[in-house]
Amino acid sequence: MACEDLVAACFADEAQPLAVPELKRERTLKYLECCYAQGLSWEDARRQIETCLAQQGVPREGIVRQLKLAEPLLAPWLD
């Protein structure tokens, strides 16, 4: 499974795409493990998250909010 396939489960809510939910930590751990195993950087992960949320119709403010939540959890492991 590609890491991109895990992004939506962590950061998007298909039932309410404009009301981005709080980060789903358990699912995010699986995403982190995938990114780490594939040698992705925080910038790679950030682009995946941003692209996924934009494709789901999340407004820019929601994307920025999710990235702020994700960065302290993912960046230390991926940089």
Average pLDDT, the chain: 83
Q: In the prediction, which pLDDT does 23 show?
A: 61
Q: Looking at residue 19, what is its pLDDT?
A: 46
Distance spanning both ends of the chain, measured CA to CA: 22
**pLDDT value of position 18:** 45
Total domains, the chain: 1
What are 56-71's pLDDT values in tens digits? 888 898 889 889 888 9
Residue ranges of the chain whose pLDDT lies below 70 = 1, 13-23
**Long-range contacts of residues 64-69, Cβ cutoff 8 Å, at least 24 apart:** 65/20, 66/11, 66/20, 66/23, 69/22, 69/23
For the chain, what is the radius of gyration of the CA atoms? 11
Domain around 27: 4-78
Tell me, what's the pLDDT at 13? 63
How many angstroms separate the CA atoms of 5 and 20, rounded? 18
- Is the Cβ–Cβ distance between 25 and 58 less than 8 Å? no
